[in-house]
Every structure is written in structure tokens, then in C-alpha cells.
Amino acid sequence: MKLPTDPKERNQILALIGLVAVGVCVGIFFGFKSLNASKDNLSRDIEELESSLSKADAKIKRMAVDEVDNEAAVKDILDISDKYVLSPRLGNYQLSARDILEAYADELGLEMDPVRGMGEGTVPSATKGAFGTYTARVSLYCGMHDLIRFLHRLETDNPYLCITGVQITERRAADKDRPQVSFEVQWPIWNDPEAKTKLEERIKESGSGGGAS
């Protein structure tokens, strides 16, 4: 193909070719730019996905360890709960507390007034804990030595209870060696008794191989 011999027409065609060429170049430039931007985005996505997948792999890999840790933790909690956390008898904590305290008093040969339940309480905290408190008051007439024996038995047999109050008042009468003594015993209790049941079910599931794998 030849360019027209007329200079005006030739210039017009050359200008048109130039314009088309510039247009094509601009198109190619923006095409590459857009493609590279998309590739950069995809590369970033890949990096994020790689990180996410490696985290996912780590989590999946850790499951076996977590399963063992969880089972151990649940067993520990249930063990402590069975031995040391006060359980209600038909929703009544006073009967359980009374039985425990009277058993100790009988064993130590101490005469005790009827155990007075002080009621359930909560431990103030920013996050709601799993355990509340139940406090019972014991009153008896005994010497310091007997009181110490009583407290010793209570505190060593159940390290999770707490003696929250002691009052020793001297009696003016003839029986001065046996002052009036009262003390308060605070046990941990489950805030939600269902929580313990759930833990027991969890252990049963793990035992039957139904745990997460």
C-alpha cells in the first residue's frame, strides 16, 4: 500500500496512524498496568491465604495436644469438684455443709450448736467465674487447742475451703477455759450446676472416642 501522493492527504493519514499508534500504546500501557495490578492483588491474596492455611494447619496439628490438655483439665476439675466443691442436696447446701461439719465435730468429740447457713454468695470479678461461695457458721464452746484441731482438720482435708471469720469470746462464768467460739466456713460451689454435668459428659465423650479429632 502506498501513501497518497497528495501531501495533505498523506499528512492526514500519517496523523491518523500516529493517533492510532498512540492509542494502541496507551491501551497496551493501561492493559499491562491493570494486569500487573491484578497480579499484585492476587499475590497479596496468595500471601494471605498461605498465612491463613499455615495457621489452619498449625491449629489442626495442635488439636491432638489440645484434646489431651482439655481432657486432663476436665479430669482435674471434676476431681477437685468431687472432693472439695460443696454439692447441694436437692438444691440445699446447708444439709451438705452440716453433715461435713458435724462429722468433724463428732470425730473430735466437740459439741457444736446447729450449723447456721449464711447463704450463697458470689466472688466479685470482672469476668463471671465458674464458682460462687456457700458460707456456714459453726458455734461451739471449746478451748483454743480444740478450735485449732477443728480448723486444722477442715483446712487440711479441704484446701479449697476458706475460714472467713473467727470469733473467740471469753466467757465470764466458771467455764473460762472453754470460751465461746464461732467461725465461718466458706466452700466453693458451682455457679451453674449444669456446668459440671457438661464436663462429665465431655469426659464420657472423650472416653468413648467421640472427642474432636
Partner 1 sequence: MNLRVDLILETEQRSASIFNLKTLTRAVCIIIPSIVAAFFLVSFLGYWSLKTTVKDMKTEEEIKQPKVARADALRAEVDQNEAIKNELQGRRESAVDWHRQLVELMKVIPQEMYFDSLRVSHTFGSENNVTFRQFDMTISGKSKGSKSEDNVLMVKRSLTVSDFFKRYTNPPEVPVFKQDVDPGARKTDRIFRIECRYKPRKVL
Minimum CB distance to partner 1 smaller for 29 or for 90: 29
Taking residue 149's Cβ as centre, other Cβ atoms within 10 Å add up to 17
Single-letter amino acid code for the residue at 43: S
* 8 Å CB contact between 13 and 4: yes
Minimum CB distance to partner 1 smaller for 90 or for 197: 197
Minimum CB distance to partner 1 smaller for 90 or for 182: 182
CB of 27 to partner 1, least distance (A): 10
Given the rule CB under 8 A, which residues bind partner 1?
28, 31-32, 35-36, 38-39, 42-43, 45-46, 49-50, 52-53, 56-57, 59-60, 62-63, 66-67, 69-70, 73-74, 76-77, 80, 123-127, 129-131, 144, 147-149, 151-152, 155, 159-170, 183-184, 186, 188, 199, 202, 212
Minimum CB distance to partner 1 smaller for 58 or for 90: 58
Gap between the Cα atoms of 212 and 68, Å rounded: 11
* 8 Å CB contact between 140 and 202: no
Minimum CB distance to partner 1 smaller for 90 or for 125: 125
CB of 55 to partner 1, least distance (A): 8
* 8 Å CB contact between 190 and 81: yes
DSSP conformational letter for 130: S
Q: 65-86 in b/e burial notation, b at 16+ Cβ within 10 A?
A: eeeeebbeebeebbeebeeebb
CB of 98 to partner 1, least distance (A): 21
CB of 121 to partner 1, least distance (A): 9
Give 140's strand partners.
112, 181
CB of 43 to partner 1, least distance (A): 7
